[in-house]
Amino acid sequence: MPPATIRVCLTHALAALRPGALVVGYSGGADSSVLLHALAHDPGARDRGLRAVHVDHGLHADSAAWAQHCRATAAALDVALDVVRVEVDRSGGRGLEAAARSARRAAFARALHSGEILALAHHRDDQAETVLLKLLRGAGPEGLAGMRRLRAFGDGQLWRPLLELPRAALLDYAREHGLRWLEDPSNADTTLRRNFLRAEILPRLRARWPDAQIALAHSALWAGNATDFIEAETRKALAQLQGLDPATLAWRGWLALPDALRDPVLRLWLRELRLDEPAHFHLEELQRQLRDAREDRLPCLRFADTELRRYRDLLYALRPLPAFPADWESAWDGSASLPLPGGGALALSPPRKLEPPLVVRYRRGGERIKPAGSAHTRELRLLLQEAGVPPWLRERIPLVFRDGELVAVGDLFFADAVTNPGMRIRFDPAVAR
């Protein structure tokens, strides 16, 4: 493949790209050196605005010299370069390779201004390695789609314009233009999984199947198309199953989904709530509990910092609720909001000072109230059941007493004694979910 193909590929790719300044992720290696050089010599890229970012992990003794090489190369091309130093967190148990990758991606995301496009030099050989790694991890269609050519990233987008080209084409370009690049010695460490695939496995695959990398890239494209379809169907299904409260899901409808949708619907739901995603065995356990638990049971699945609880027809997603003193009690005159140890706060709307002050506490059992407009005094236990308040929230609803009489249950039920068109007790359960 002639080196000119790189320039032609980039020109066509730029023409199809939405407006936005370009930021090259520049490591100093051969691949990113080719991408930076080619874009620096493309008038269309210059017209958009072009700069580069180098992430210094500080993991190698020569990392400072590498950063200086990148500065000199960018300056020779008249491209502004930012060098970002990061600390790689090795405490997460993910391994150095994954930790460095995570730190690098986070640095790129922070460096990207609104609407900018991060250009990375991944190529077809990288894609083949990624697909094999994902396959060996048991990934589904989304993982087997490998790296996407264009996707949302940080405050902008991530663009891989060379993804369809083999690395040989990039090396030909580098040699023709006399480029100098860095060689990271860690690339020769075959204890790292990607390096092992690159050095040991893919050469053997190519020896037997010369077009192996092309085939893997095609498989990634098919998997990507399937993923896009599944994602669209996932969003439709979630919209049908989600309750009026976004943190609820109709669990019977979820169980009835096809296998291809059940997992992605749950994960999309949790992602949009900014909650943790479960492992595969958590999903299997959730389905077992939902199918097998009796109607009067309250199954709860806990993982990471997330809980999934079933109550009646709905599945609730929430953070674990903090402990609180159930015997807490406080006087409240209504002049200011009252923070509650069980989460949230009580307030009068509009605020006013009440004499004598009210008394606020939590349930202790046996409470009764005569709701405004009701002919009878009712047990609070039954009222909360009829209102569909989930059991784990009932003990956190503040009870308001006047002269020993229960006159308000959060902002759910009020006695005639506090019903006033010009004043209302409001309960904001800020952390009760």
Average pLDDT, integer, range 188-208: 92
At residue 413, does pLDDT exceed 60? yes
Instruction: Report DSSP letters for 347-387, one per residue.
Output: EEES----SSPEEEE---S--EE-BTT-SS-EEHHHHHHHT
Chain centroid to Cα 369, Å, comes to: 44
Is the separation of the CB atoms in 331 and 359 below 8 Å? yes
Instruction: Quick: pLDDT tens for 172-186.
Output: 999 999 999 999 888
Instruction: Quick: pLDDT tens for 28-59.
Output: 999 999 999 999 999 999 999 999 999 998 77
Q: What values do phi and psi take at 388, rounded to 5?
A: 75, 25
Q: Comparing C-alpha atoms, which of 1, 7, 74, 83 is closest to residue 36?
A: 74
Is the separation of the CB atoms in 59 and 85 below 8 Å? no
What tokens were used for 422?
């010009």
Is the separation of the CB atoms in 300 and 293 below 8 Å? no
Q: Comparing C-alpha atoms, which of 327, 328, 308, 305 is closest to residue 317?
A: 308
Strands 399-402 and 405-409: antiparallel
Instruction: Quick: pLDDT tens for 119-163.
Output: 999 999 999 999 999 999 888 898 999 999 999 999 999 999 999
Q: How many CA atoms lie within 13 A of 88 on its CB side?
A: 19
Instruction: Quick: pLDDT tens for 317-330.
Output: 999 998 999 899 99
pTM: 0.76
Q: Tokens 């502004």 correspond to what residue?
A: 80
Rounded distance, CA 24 to CA 33, Å? Answer: 10
